[in-house]
Amino acid sequence: MLLHPTSLPGNRNHGDLGAEASRFVDFIANCGFSVWQTLPLGPTHEDGSPYQCLSVHAGNPEMISLADLVTRGWLDEAGDDTDTHACLVRAKAGFDSRAEEADRDALLDFRLRHAFWLDDYTLYQAIRRDHQDAPWYTWPEQLRDRDSVAITAFRETHADDIEQACFEQFLFFTQWHALRDYARERGIALFGDIPIFVAHDSADVWAQRELFFIDASGGLDVVSGVPPDYFSKTGQRWGNPLYRWERIAADDFHWWLERFRSQLELFDIIRLDHFRGFEKYWEIPARAKTAIKGRWVEGPGAALFERLAEEFGDLPLVAENLGLITPEVEALRRKLALPGMEILQFAFDSGPDNPYLPHNHEQQAVVYTGTHDNDTSLGWYKGLDEADRQVVDEYLGLPSEPMPWPLIRAALASVAELAILPMQDILALGSEHRMNIPGTAADNWKWRFDWAQAEPDLADRMRHLVQLYGRAGH
């Protein structure tokens, strides 16, 4: 099941890692499912995109359950307070005055184990907050360029803010691990997502500028994106800085090893977003307003993954191989023995050889009705013209069930080793419940569901289908 934690119900303006997350784990288990897929968990910018985070390691403090902090006795009743940071500041004061020794030891242990990213991140967050959340490349030059004297002085005068940022990460990781343990007890694996690129305004780029194509003032000459495709006629200009892969390789891919180390602590399975960028990536002049005038540039290829395998052994990875996929990209994926993605909404527009049609699927794959970037399956189906709907209906056997159930059945019946269903499809919701429209910046990532949208027998219905198609217990 695919659902980002911010889409969980609750009395705040976004979901969190508290009781509703545990209830969702119960729901997944009752449906007979064994995997919960989320989007990236990092702290976001104002647009809320989990694919443009302030850190590749940190968790989003907005997801911290305030109710849990009340239960622990560190926070007075939070009520409907929507200012998460203010509540977390009060929670730290409560922790400092009332926490038991075991909790203080746990915080110290967290700080030591995560120092490889936490020191830079907490400093970055404190400076950013002190400058009204302005991006690092607009900070005063000495802080922008990490002058040692200026950094030391800032640490001394803003020690409380740095400690606050550390405390918030301790809370996030503590709550996530509790949720992961609960999921494991119910037989649920957690499936995460690593975006290939990093936000320009992020702790990672600020701290290790030499690994990116960044000029002396923090600006960009080239940025990331993808050429025109299914989602956009002008392509997508993501705007992320691009890696200096030669420097990263010369450092034995240390930056990527650290990135995987923190994500493997959070997840059992990981999706590699934009896998094709590891073979070749689309380089766009920063001055260009769209992604049309870009060019393909060689990525690290298999060398990165060979180094990861040396460090971690066999990794539970899934390659997001969507968009303009060349034979070279598929050859790399197969060489690495990574399952790719099969999206049923893409299956019906080009005849019987379309690789997304179920009869063309292979076992080493993950099949989706749709992803967070797609319309809901019901919305997609209603948006087709009559001729295209007829093609879908005929392929699916002229089903009597309403959409999206025939597409859900097709996903479950696929030979692909894993089937992922978005929560919107399980709830049979329309286009107004879409999570994201690629290439747009406004009004995305806000969708939430309500338990009232779930029919009383929904879990039983899903469990029956999981068993019917031989997916129970996998």
Asked whether 319 and 299 are in contact (CB, 8 A), the reply is: no
And the tokens for 352? 């019987």
Task: Residue 179: name the closest of 78, 43, 42, 36 by CA.
Answer: 36
Q: Is the peptide bond before 404 cis (omega within 30 degrees of 0)?
A: yes
- Looking up tokens 């338990």 gives 451
- Looking up tokens 């969702």 gives 24
Catalytic residue, from 258, 373, 393, 417: name it: 373
Asked whether 190 and 267 are in contact (CB, 8 A), the reply is: yes
Sequence-distant (6+) residues with CB within 8 A of 147 are 141
Asked whether 368 and 343 are in contact (CB, 8 A), the reply is: yes
Instruction: Specify burial of residue 450 (Cβ count, 10 A radius: 0-12, 13-18, 19+).
Output: exposed
Sequence-distant (6+) residues with CB within 8 A of 135 are 128, 200, 201
Catalytic residue, from 62, 68, 201, 273: name it: 273
Indicate if 204 belongs to the active site: no
Catalytic residue, from 16, 161, 201, 320: name it: 320
d(CA 210, CA 301): 21
Asked whether 29 and 185 are in contact (CB, 8 A), the reply is: no
With residue 96 as reference, give the H or E element that holds it.
Answer: helix 84-98
DSSP string, 30-82: HTT--EEE----SPB-TT--TTSBS-SS---GGGS-HHHHHHHTSS---TT--
Asked whether 268 and 189 are in contact (CB, 8 A), the reply is: yes
Other C-beta atoms closer than 10 Å to the C-beta of 388 total 13
Instruction: Specify burial of residue 284 (Cβ count, 10 A radius: 0-12, 13-18, 19+).
Output: buried
Cα-flanking dihedrals φ and ψ of residue 35, to 5°? -140, 135
Indicate if 320 belongs to the active site: yes
Asked whether 379 and 10 are in contact (CB, 8 A), the reply is: no
d(CA 212, CA 209): 6
Other C-beta atoms closer than 10 Å to the C-beta of 303 total 14
Indicate if 273 belongs to the active site: yes
Task: Residue 426: name the closest of 445, 404, 446 by CA.
Answer: 404
Other C-beta atoms closer than 10 Å to the C-beta of 453 total 15
Catalytic annotation, residues: 273, 320, 373
